[in-house]
Amino acid sequence: MTAREREIVDRWNACAYYRLIGMRAVSASEGTAVLELRVGEEHHQAYGSAHGGVLAGLIDAAMGLAILGAAPDGEGCATIEMKLNYTAPAVRGTLTATGRILHEGRRMVVASAEARDDAGVLVSAGQGTFQRFRPGAG
Amino acid sequence: MTAREREIVDRWNACAYYRLIGMRAVSASEGTAVLELRVGEEHHQAYGSAHGGVLAGLIDAAMGLAILGAAPDGEGCATIEMKLNYTAPAVRGTLTATGRILHEGRRMVVASAEARDDAGVLVSAGQGTFQRFRPGAG
Amino acid sequence: MTAREREIVDRWNACAYYRLIGMRAVSASEGTAVLELRVGEEHHQAYGSAHGGVLAGLIDAAMGLAILGAAPDGEGCATIEMKLNYTAPAVRGTLTATGRILHEGRRMVVASAEARDDAGVLVSAGQGTFQRFRPGAG
Amino acid sequence: MTAREREIVDRWNACAYYRLIGMRAVSASEGTAVLELRVGEEHHQAYGSAHGGVLAGLIDAAMGLAILGAAPDGEGCATIEMKLNYTAPAVRGTLTATGRILHEGRRMVVASAEARDDAGVLVSAGQGTFQRFRPGAG
């Protein structure tokens, strides 16, 4: 990672939500990004596996970080919408999410992401639309 | 709510994820459900509003609870997939999410949900697909 | 409908795709729109019901027309993305699709739509994101 | 392609919808599939590019054919739902859609697809959920 990519990763890891949920950005480089989340009982829903919100946050972040890592300096991105499938329950262990850019438009970027467990099993896959913006701009 | 609906709501509120994120099921009745979440700084991403994962968890739960409230005794439901739009940032205050059933199939149920802030502004709207199952069944 | 709404409906019905597929815009007014499509064997896929593309076109059009009917004069809208569920096969008869606006932003609009058959059975429900634009603008 | 894959491709190309819309399945092998569609004025919406339904049908078919090519003999698949982004207008020329399997479950399969124009520009990308079934089974 470049110093700028490192700065982005550090800034995201400093977010309150990342600490609350135990999510960690690992890298953002050339239109891809990697995050990790160690699933524990604190993430569980009524059936004993990670709640959909946990995985959705991970997929959202993987896509957003892939986009931000490739964005011009000072540009931010906001999730307009996303869709994700839940393909296997995540009960414990470390999930690794990988995001990548599918299409970069002038105002919008489309990305996809997937999250896999320790055994390499796909637990979630998603696709989303993001809006470029400059913080402070109208 | 009937005693059974109250039991479902209580069971969901006892989930670890609900306590972690501060989400609360309010009601589940006749194919609709209501949940609340008080947004605080602990939910924020880098731009100072609730992370997409927080809202996704709320939308997912509102759809799932609407379905479960209407399901036969002993039946569970798992989110197969969902799609959600983020229509306004949620910075603070209480979000209210409402889920409703769009279509009940034999094995699958389609639902939608929306979340609004204290001022009634739509912050997220989604649609998802759920699978019926009987816990313990193959 | 006002004269302007009638003009929009007529313009859409004049589209080549509408004639190819046999789709017809019925009305567009106050953020909702109605379209019809008579399903015939020409729409069938290998299993003898309407292909997913037929229903997707109908859902897309119902959302877009709801938005356009409520838009300022001279504004157009383009589908950024959409998600749709297929809830029942459409074999024959007339499908009626209804679109409505969920959220109007400055640049983007979120809408939902559903299509029902002659018996009122839901055959598809979707949600999508649209971008406002002025034709000819950069 | 094996004889069985060729048989599937031929069967899909014989569908009425394929002839109506001018779509052609090219190949289905090892969890991927390729289709082509030559965009003409007959596909256009009011703004002079292919209607969303045309691209949705292509994306749906690319995912479904990827799944069917990899399925056991005699098994069919039905689209439960899909989400797709429209990333560039398709005005004319030949679109090539490629589908691939993301996850194979016992009852459901998740797939993604993308469509590109003659110049290799991404015009649409989607992700969908499909249900396995045996024609004639309950």
At D99, the pLDDT band (50, 70, 90 cuts) reads very high
D129 neighbourhood in chain A, CB within 8 Å: 85
Check D17 against C51: CB less than 8 A apart.
Answer: yes
What is the residue whose two structure tokens read 């604190």?
Answer: A42
Check C112 against B122: CB less than 8 A apart.
Answer: no
Mean pLDDT (whole number) for D23-41: 97
Q: Phi/psi of residue B74, each to 5°?
A: 85, -5
Check B53 against A76: CB less than 8 A apart.
Answer: no
pLDDT at position A73, please?
87
Which runs of E-coded beta strand occur in chain A?
Answer: 23-29, 32-39, 76-86, 93-104, 108-116, 122-133
Cα–chain-centroid distance for residue B11?
14
Q: Nearest chain C Cα to B127, which residue? A: C127
Check A83 against C80: CB less than 8 A apart.
Answer: no
Q: What is the ipTM of this complex?
A: 0.95
Check B127 against C122: CB less than 8 A apart.
Answer: no
pLDDT at position A138, please?
47
Side-chain half-sphere exposure of C125, counting CA atoms within 13 A:
18
pLDDT greater than 60 at residue D82: yes
Lowest mean pLDDT among B58-62, C50-54, D2-6: D2-6
Token pair of A9 as six digits = 């990763």
Range 65-94 of D in CB contact (< 8 A) with A: 83, 85, 87-88
Mean pLDDT (whole number) for B121-133: 97
Mean pLDDT (whole number) for B110-119: 98
Q: How far is CA C31 from CA A102, C70, C106, in A?
A: 32, 5, 15
SS3 assignment, position D137: coil
Q: Which residue, among D80, D100, D103, D122, would best test binding to A if mutated, counting the most A CBs under 10 Å from its CB?
A: D103
pLDDT at position C134, please?
84
Token pair of D113 as six digits = 């697809």
How many CB pairs below 8 Å do chains A and D form together?
Answer: 45
pLDDT at position D134, please?
84
B46 contacts chain A (CB < 8 A): yes
pLDDT greater than 70 at residue C15: yes
| 8 A C-beta contact, residue A112 and residue A63 | yes
A138 contacts chain C (CB < 8 A): no
Look at the pTM and tell me if it is higher than 0.80: yes
Lowest mean pLDDT among A103-107, B31-35, C25-29, C132-136: C132-136
Check A56 against B58: CB less than 8 A apart.
Answer: no
A110 contacts chain D (CB < 8 A): yes
pLDDT greater than 80 at residue C28: yes
pLDDT per residue as tens digits for the range A29-63: 989 999 999 999 999 999 999 999 999 999 999 99
Check A53 against B21: CB less than 8 A apart.
Answer: yes
Check A83 against C83: CB less than 8 A apart.
Answer: yes
pLDDT greater than 90 at residue B13: yes
A107 neighbourhood in chain C, CB within 8 Å: 107
CA distance C66 to C99: 6
Mean pLDDT (whole number) for C104-118: 97
Mean pLDDT (whole number) for C82-100: 97
| 8 A C-beta contact, residue D17 and residue C54 | yes
B80 neighbourhood in chain D, CB within 8 Å: 80, 108, 129
Beta-carbon contacts of A101 under 8 Å, excluding residues fewer than 6 positions away, are A31, A32, A66, A67, A70, A109, A110, A111
Q: Nearest chain D Cα to B106, which residue? A: D138
Q: How far is CA C26 from CA B131, C55, C78, C124, in A?
A: 35, 16, 20, 18
A105 contacts chain C (CB < 8 A): no
pLDDT per residue as tens digits for the range B97-108: 999 999 999 999
